[in-house]
């Protein structure tokens, strides 16, 4: 019989901060979603173990309650390895058509090859004032 994969667990001390969100009208957008908002994030490893983050999952909920789920490998093309006390900061963007809430998680493994995840706390993506 094959091994049953272990369920991913949250690591105490591994956490995400949303440093800021900015509107950048020069970025590409669509007519139905004309507002590109850049978010700046830091992943903090205040745990006692080394982790490698390999995947991401975003859930963006718009003002009408419609959910958009975005999943993929890597974080801005990288699979950061964070030893205890290290951080990884980056920025990327979501394109919205109405006020929205973004949240999600990063997934990977720890130094013992245990599956782990860390939550991305909910944060507002607000349509800029005209």
pLDDT one-digit tens code per residue, 25-62:
999 999 999 999 999 999 999 999 999 999 999 999 99
Q: How far is CA 46 from the centre of its chain?
A: 18
| Burial letters 14-30, b for 16+ CB under 10 A, else e | bbbebeebeeeeeeebe
Q: Which residues of 86-95 are buried (b: 16+ CB within 10 A; e: fewer)?
A: eebeeeebbb
CATH of domain 9-125: 2.60.40.1470
**Token pair belonging to 81:** 């390895």
CB neighbour list of residue 69: distance below 8 Å, 6 or more residues apart: 57, 58, 59
> pTM of the entire structure?
0.92
Digit-coded pLDDT (tens) for 78-109: 999 999 999 999 999 999 999 999 999 999 99
> Within 13 Å and on the Cβ side, how many CA atoms surround 102?
23
8 A C-beta contact, residue 109 and residue 128: no
Per domain, the residue ranges of the chain are 9-125
């Amino acid at each position: 019989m094959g091994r049953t994969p272990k369920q991913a667990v949250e690591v105490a001390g591994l956490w995400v901060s949303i440093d800021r969100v900015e509107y950048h009208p020069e970025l590409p957008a669509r007519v139905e979603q004309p507002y590109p908002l850049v978010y700046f994030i830091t992943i903090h490893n205040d745990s006692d173990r080394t982790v490698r983050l390999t995947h991401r999952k975003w859930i963006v909920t718009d003002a009408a309650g419609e959910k958009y789920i975005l999943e993929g490998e890597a974080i801005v093309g990288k699979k950061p390895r964070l030893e205890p006390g290290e951080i990884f900061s980056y920025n990327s963007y979501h394109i919205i058509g109405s006020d929205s809430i973004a949240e999600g998680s990063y997934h990977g493994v720890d130094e013992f090859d245990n599956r782990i995840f860390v939550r991305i706390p909910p944060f507002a993506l607000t349509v800029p004032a005209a």
